[in-house]
Structure 1
Amino acid sequence: MAYNMIDYQKERETFKWQLPEYFNFASDVVDKWAENPDKLAMIWVNEQDEEVRRTFRDFKERSNQLANLLVSQGIKPGDVIILIMPRYIEWWESFLACLRVGAIVSPGTVQLTTKDLAFRIKAANASAIIVDERTAKKFDELTEGLEAIKCKVLVGEPREGWLNYQSEINKFPTEFNTVRTRSSDGAILFFTSGTTGNPKMTLHTHGSYPFAHIVTGKYWLDLTPDDLHWNLSDTGWGKAAWSSLFGPWHMGATIFVHHETRFNPKRCLEVLQRYPITTLCGAPTNYRMLVLEDLLKYKFPSLRSCTGAGEPLNPEVIATWREATGLTIRDGYGQTETVLVIGNFPCLPVKPGAMGKPAPGFTVEVIDEKGNILPPGKEGDIAIQVKPEPPVGLFKQYWQEPERTERCFRGQWYLTGDRAVKDEDGYFWFVGRADDVILASGYRIGPFEVESALIEHDAVAESAVVASPDELRGEIVKAFVVLADGYTPSPQLVKELQDHVKKTTAPYKYPREIEFVDYLPKTVSGKIRRAQLREMEWAKKGKNRHMLG
């Protein structure tokens, strides 16, 4: 088959962002595909092998009904709507409905705790929440901070104080006049972990994210209207917006969704073999688990493309997968703050372990601390050129934090916070995070959040949390703990602290390893030297975090 991009250099030279003044993904993309009433948008399958097929027309009408419901409850353009549920079809309907009414949708993972939800409601000044039953129970534990909430919508069994999604939207018409949103209007608010303090609120506009992901869908995922695309990401993460919504539907591809409680590699391979899935996208952790299975037992006759993003992809995993399937996993790089900015594109040879080359529409370089472009082979900061004209696809701001936003820029460059080396051929090679954020199984985990949870336990006097190398997950959370007087190290205490973190913050953030120490290394000003602990940890396990892959 012919690729969407045949000549990489020519495409980069001729590419121009054609951003319109007004854009709304729901009306300008989904509704256009819905003009063909039979155009399939999704195949949804659960763990019991129950299958549901939905057309673009179905998504148009159902999201229109929900949009009418939201407006009837007083939701207006600019209001923030928190959206949390697993891989239900209603997640896609709700996302589109939020865009239709001109609201700002704020997705989150079902693993968030009641404490996390309370912070998000307050920080975002949310006006509405659309959630599943499990999350609704957590919201009902809140006793304050809900004054600004105009409506609460529940997908699931009826619950007192909640509007039931299934029964309520059927009361409304399937037609809705989608708000004429400007490309510069706010559309999505992601919460993303940092190294200190609470999660940052990353604000995207209709133009910077829903529109700009055409680059992701067209060039990196290389999708067409004939493809059946499966992205393994959970709905609570930015990767779902990348590869489970905007990228595929820009191109008119059908999305395959497998609703499951946790990733099962055997089940994944069985599903890949059973359905005519043509393109697969997953976190490196998914691929690392898949290659541990007997891949030669399976055949994937329809599969033509595999991509990975979220953390560095190990060359040995790429080799094992290619040997068994004949397909090379193509790595891609971006952030919560961006669409795809660097990738291994189908028309380019893959250098195993490399991030790839800059996407059309982006000028990306490795720079030094003064903003100078470094020569090949020199390590520096990954930076995106934003002057004289910023590219489409970059977030608008960290909401309500102008100083934090300003710190991301150095002269004409936006700093991604990651470091890399560019080789003579223009390929980027990931080095590591410039900060201390831990990338475990594709999840970004801020050390401060885990440390804050640990310090709440009576046994903990001090703690420092760092990334520790792990063959399966890439990195895991490792905690160094100084015990309070009266406590002694024991396996029972390790388990108790781990359970405490799971209950205090999201379960995926708990430290899989805990080491008890007498003291923590600190700077003269009293700051914990996480970098020193991290380097010691990686050296002890025979790894080097600056030579990933």
Structure 2
Amino acid sequence: MGGAPVLKIGNTYEEVYNSFRWEIPEYYNIGVDVCDKWAHQRYRLALIYENESGQVEKYTFWDLKRLSNGLANGLKAHGIKPGDRVGILLPQSPEAGIAHIATYKMGGIVIPMFTLFGTDALEYRLSNSEARGIVTDEANLPKILEIRERLPHLETVILTRGETPDGVLSFWDLIEKGSSSFQPLKTRADDPAFISYTSGTTGPPKGAFHAHRVLLGHLPGIQFPHNFFPKEDDLFWTPADWAWMGGFMDVLLPSWHYGIPVVAHRAKKFDPEEAFHLLAKYGIRNAFMPPTALKMMRQVQDPRSRHDYSMRTIGSGGEALGEELLAWGREVMGLTINEFYGQTEVNLVVGSCSEVMEIRPGSMGKAIPGHRVEVVDDSGTPLSPNVIGEIAIKRPDPVMCIEYWKNPEATREKYLNDWWLTGDLAKKDEDGYFWFVGRKDDLITSAGYRIGPAEIEDCLMKHPAVAMVAVVGSPDKVRTEVVKAFIIPKAGVTPGPDVEEEIKKFVKVRLAAHEYPREIEFVTELPMTTTGKIIRKELKALEIKRKSGC
């Protein structure tokens, strides 16, 4: 198979990790790699796209090459130059993939943006990046037009489908008028490719400025948790938005690097029943599923009776899955879900691979081959096993961002000697498994104990009354903080004092007396980032406000 795997298949984790070596070429371009190198196989399928009304379009790599060339010529004709930033504000769609490829090939810098963003979030990113152009659709164009006059750099607005108002260009007209031949810019592997903004849960979003090499840096982190991806008949899908690293860097572009087709599905919100339908309809073999999506799918009763799916791998990351979800994966999905860990700035550096290692529920796995990952103290010294410290990644590492865009101070703060500090707390056991504890600012201090929310949430998810949960520290005059759980109950459960006491006892006997939630609040929803992570910070702020007399 073309695009040879980076990892050597071995019998043990140690064998796979120790045999790995990076081979990063001096010159490398993401657009050429994921598209043009496969285009000579004119009928090789790249994309299956199903829109909201169920209509299906298919694209080969040859199609993508010609279409992206036309768009690259169109961008160039309208003044977009190498180094200029181009926003992509689109859902999963052919146009999103084409816009990525075209921008990379012409040397532009992509700014991927979520369609769920409002005008303030969009204005911040487009202003901060000084974007010269943007590609968007009918649903999102009004937001761009509303803020356009406040964005002096934004000269070119391109609409994918629909009626184009004055001052807006048509995506498909640009392609039609542009030549289907284009000479890609000869970029170095270290040249910039995109700016991905952080979730902004710890202050204003920061732009992680990534080089073309970052795709190569991701490959071990795709192959490992997907059990030595790619294999014959692999077909990838994710419900994650392609504006998120989990969408375009964990699925779309790595799949295309290996010449593997991707399913794109335009959906306004995640529907777990529809997810099972898609898996069966297209014979999807591989998926990246955020934990929230898996928890929702777990609520679907007896999906096998309605959907004939057969998957090879599921990878998940963002929050620990825990024993219950892993057991559900084996029983209902017929596989072991592999977990992984990473951040916008340095992604897919820890993970599991059920083919070569034991899966330990609650653990994120081990360092992915190619990455040096440790738990360090405040001086940057790796800690002894089972001691809580900060997850750190050693540089140089091809998956690591160049810097924070226009923010040298924030960049300096992330480094301690040659370690990139993640701000995440964890323990590493004697066997090299990492156990997530929480964000530094998520840590709960209660009666002298340092308590991480992840283990408590994992325990609570095992209770039959709990559908979803978030744990935070709530101010307390005596203990400094007490453990508080915000719980979404399962359908059919009526919250009340009896259920509350039962849940408290459930945790107390399974964890420790100081770790059970002394306070429980039943809610209908939890604050989430656009990437599906619970924003504990908002819940903690709510508690501080409520108890401001503490």
Q: TM-score range by the shorter chain?
A: 0.7 to 0.9
1:92-115 Cα shifts (integer Å, max 9, x gaps): 000111101101101010111112
The alpha-carbon deviation at position 376 of structure 1 amounts to 1.3
Say whether 1:189 aligns with 2:195. yes
Q: What secondary structure does 2:163 align onto?
A: coil
1:177-208 Cα shifts (integer Å, max 9, x gaps): 0111111111110111345542111100111x
Task: Specify the alignment match of 2:420 in structure 1.
Answer: 414
Task: Specify the alignment match of 1:122 in structure 2.
Answer: 127
Do the aligned partners of residues 227 and 472 (structure 1) sit closer, same or farther apart at CA in structure 2, a change above 3 Å counting? farther
The alpha-carbon deviation at position 518 of structure 1 amounts to 5.8
Separation of aligned partners in 2, 1:182 and 1:521: 57
Task: Specify the alignment match of 2:504 in structure 1.
Answer: none
Say whether 1:178 aligns with 2:184. yes
Q: What secondary structure does 2:319 align onto?
A: coil
Counterparts in 2 of 1:138-153, with a 5 A limit? 138-142=143-147, 144-153=149-158
Separation of aligned partners in 1, 2:152 and 2:545: 45
The alpha-carbon deviation at position 236 of structure 1 amounts to 2.1
Say whether 1:13 aligns with 2:18. yes
Separation of aligned partners in 2, 1:472 and 1:179: 54
Say whether 1:54 aligns with 2:54. no
Separation of aligned partners in 2, 1:469 and 1:249: 40
CA contact (8 A) 1:217 1:247 kept: yes
The alpha-carbon deviation at position 428 of structure 1 amounts to 0.6
Separation of aligned partners in 1, 2:266 and 2:101: 19
Task: Specify the alignment match of 2:548 in structure 1.
Answer: 520
The alpha-carbon deviation at position 251 of structure 1 amounts to 1.9
Separation of aligned partners in 2, 1:151 and 1:78: 15
CA contact (8 A) 2:427 2:435 kept: yes
Give the letter aligned to residue 339 of structure 1.
N
1:490-513 Cα shifts (integer Å, max 9, x gaps): xxxx99xx9xx99xxx9x989799
CA contact (8 A) 1:5 1:219 kept: no
Q: What secondary structure does 2:147 align onto?
A: coil
Q: What secondary structure does 2:125 align onto?
A: helix
Q: What secondary structure does 2:265 align onto?
A: strand
What is the aligned counterpart of 1:359 among 354, 365, 368?
Answer: 368
The alpha-carbon deviation at position 55 of structure 1 amounts to 0.7
What is the aligned counterpart of 1:79 among 84, 95, 117?
Answer: 84
CA contact (8 A) 1:368 1:374 kept: yes
Say whether 1:266 aligns with 2:273. yes
Do the aligned partners of residues 521 and 214 (structure 1) sit closer, same or farther apart at CA in structure 2, a change above 3 Å counting? farther
Question: Structure 1 stretches of 5 or more lacking a match?
Answer: 441-446, 448-465, 474-493, 523-549
Give the letter aligned to residue 343 of structure 1.
G
The alpha-carbon deviation at position 29 of structure 1 amounts to 3.6
Task: Specify the alignment match of 1:65 in structure 2.
Answer: 70
Task: Specify the alignment match of 1:284 in structure 2.
Answer: 291
Q: What secondary structure does 1:212 align onto?
A: helix
What is the aligned counterpart of 1:401 among 407, 427, 446?
Answer: 407
CA contact (8 A) 2:377 2:383 kept: yes
CA contact (8 A) 1:218 1:251 kept: no
Q: What secondary structure does 2:115 align onto?
A: coil
Task: Specify the alignment match of 1:93 in structure 2.
Answer: 98
Say whether 1:434 aligns with 2:440. yes
Give the letter aligned to residue 116 of structure 1.
A
What is the aligned counterpart of 2:137 among 132, 137, 141?
Answer: 132
Separation of aligned partners in 2, 1:402 and 1:87: 33
Task: Specify the alignment match of 1:545 in structure 2.
Answer: none
Counterparts in 2 of 1:93-492, with a 5 A limit? 93-142=98-147, 144-160=149-165, 161-207=167-213, 209-221=214-226, 222-224=228-230, 226-295=233-302, 296-298=304-306, 300-345=308-353, 346-386=355-395, 390-435=396-441, 469-470=486-487
The alpha-carbon deviation at position 58 of structure 1 amounts to 0.9
Do the aligned partners of residues 333 and 28 (structure 1) sit closer, same or farther apart at CA in structure 2, a change above 3 Å counting? same
CA contact (8 A) 2:224 2:352 kept: no
Separation of aligned partners in 2, 1:418 and 1:302: 35
1:18-76 Cα shifts (integer Å, max 9, x gaps): 11111002113421111211111111123433211111111111111100000001111
CA contact (8 A) 2:198 2:344 kept: yes
Separation of aligned partners in 2, 1:62 and 1:204: 25
CA contact (8 A) 2:8 2:20 kept: no
Separation of aligned partners in 1, 2:279 and 2:201: 37
Give the letter aligned to residue 361 of structure 1.
G
Separation of aligned partners in 2, 1:430 and 1:5: 27
The count of corresponding residues between Structure 1 and Structure 2 is 466
Q: What secondary structure does 2:57 align onto?
A: strand
Separation of aligned partners in 2, 1:134 and 1:309: 29
Output the TM-score relative to the length of structure 2. 0.78
Separation of aligned partners in 2, 1:368 and 1:327: 37
Do the aligned partners of residues 407 and 198 (structure 1) sit closer, same or farther apart at CA in structure 2, a change above 3 Å counting? same
Give the letter aligned to residue 429 of structure 1.
W
Q: More deviation in 7-16 or 306-315?
A: 7-16
Q: What secondary structure does 1:430 align onto?
A: strand
The alpha-carbon deviation at position 226 of structure 1 amounts to 3.0
Instruction: Provide the aligned C-alpha RMSD in A.
Output: 3.1
Separation of aligned partners in 2, 1:279 and 1:241: 15
Give the letter aligned to residue 144 of structure 2.
F
Q: What secondary structure does 1:355 align onto?
A: coil
Output the TM-score relative to the length of structure 1. 0.79
